[in-house]
Amino acid sequence: MNFLAITHCKFGKVGKDLFTMDYRYPISAFQAFAICLSSFDTKIADLWFGVHVQ
């Protein structure tokens, strides 16, 4: 089977305090921003439960 993988949202850190976000239809700017914010929440939760992410 052929599966076509299409990325709709990308988020990454490019500097100490600098991040990048790319998104495309059908995701809106608001939805993409909410997805990126949830990434920070996960990292805080990992630290809270003793998982050390580096």
- CB count within 10 Å of CB 44 equals 8
Residue with tokens 């500097």: 15
Residue 47 in contact with residue 53, Cβ under 8 Å? yes
**Whether the predicted model's global pTM rises above the 0.75 cut:** no
In the chain, domain spans: 9-48
Give the C-alpha separation, 48 to 35, whole Å: 20
Q: Kindly give the parts of the chain with pLDDT less than 70.
A: 1-3, 41-54
**According to the model, what pLDDT value does residue 23 have?**
92
State the virtual CA torsion across 40, 47, 13, 4 in degrees, nearest 10: -70
What token pair was written down for 12?
């990454």
